[in-house]
Amino acid sequence: MNKLDIFGRSVDPAIAASVVVGVVVVLWLVRRWVAGGWCYSNARLDGKTVVITGANSGIGKETAKDMARRGARVIIACRDLPKAEAAASEIRTATGNNKVTVRKLDLASLASVRECAKKIKAEVKKLDILINNAGIMMCPPLKTEDGFEMQLGVNHLGHFLLTNLLLDLIKSSAPARIVNVSSLAHDFNNAKMFWDDINLEKNYDPMVAYGQSKLANVLFTVELAKRLKGTQVTANSLHPGTIETELTRHTQQAICAMSLPWRIFFRIIMCSPIGNFFRKTAVQGAQTTIHLAVSEELKNTTGQYYSDCVPAKTNKQSVNSENARRLWEMSAEMVGLDKKVD
Which sign, positive or negative, has the C-alpha torsion 172, 79, 102, 69? negative
What ranges in the chain are assigned the alpha helix state H?
13-35, 58-69, 81-95, 110-123, 150-152, 158-171, 206-227, 251-256, 260-271, 273-276, 282-285, 287-294, 321-335
Contact 231, 170 (CB under 8 A): no
- Beta strands 49-53 and 129-132, pairing class: parallel
Phi, psi (5° rounding) for residue 169? -65, -40
DSSP, res 142: -
Q: Hey, which residues does 324 pair with through a beta bridge? A: none
Using a 10 angstrom Cβ sphere, with 0-12 exposed, 13-18 middle and 19 or more buried, the burial of residue 184 is: buried
Question: Is there a catalytic annotation at residue 204?
Answer: no
Cα dihedral 247→268→276→152 (10° resolution): -10
> Of 204, 210, 305, 306, which residue is the catalytic one?
210
Edge-first strand listing for the sheet containing 310-311 = 100-104, 73-78, 49-53, 129-132, 176-181, 233-239, 305-307, 310-311
Contact 309, 291 (CB under 8 A): yes
Q: Is the peptide bond before 175 cis (omega within 30 degrees of 0)?
A: yes
Active site amino acids: 210
